[in-house]
Amino acid sequence: MFLKTVAFGLSFLALTACVSVLPEPTAPDALYRIEAQSSHAGLQHNLIIREPEAPRLIGGQGMVSKGEDGGLRMVPGVEWSGPATRQIQLAMIDSFKSGEPGNALLPELGVLTDYELASELSVLRLEGETAICKMKVSLIAALDRSLLARSEVQSKQSAASRNAADRANALRAAASDCAAQATAFAITALPAGF
**6-59 pLDDT per residue, tens:** 555 556 555 555 555 666 667 778 899 999 987 888 788 889 999 999 999 999
| Choice between 24 and 122, residue whose per-residue pLDDT is larger | 122
Domain count, the chain: 1
pLDDT of residue 170: 97
What pLDDT, in 10s, does the model give residues 97-113?
A: 887 788 899 999 998 89
Residue 172 in domain = yes
Q: What is the mean pLDDT of the chain?
A: 88
Decide if 46 is inside a domain: yes
Asked whether residue 182 is assigned to any structural domain, the reply reads yes
- Among the ranges given (10-19, 65-74, 167-176), the one the predictor scored with the smallest mean pLDDT: 10-19
- CATH number for the domain that contains residue 83: 3.40.50.10610
194 lies in a domain? no
5 belongs to a structural domain: no
Kindly state the average pLDDT of the residues 116-133: 96
What pLDDT score does 34 carry?
Answer: 94
Question: What pLDDT, on the 0 to 100 scale, is given for residue 139?
Answer: 96
Distance from C-alpha of 67 to C-alpha of 51, rounded to nearest angstrom = 28
pLDDT the model gives residue 44: 82
Domain range spanning residue 52?
29-189
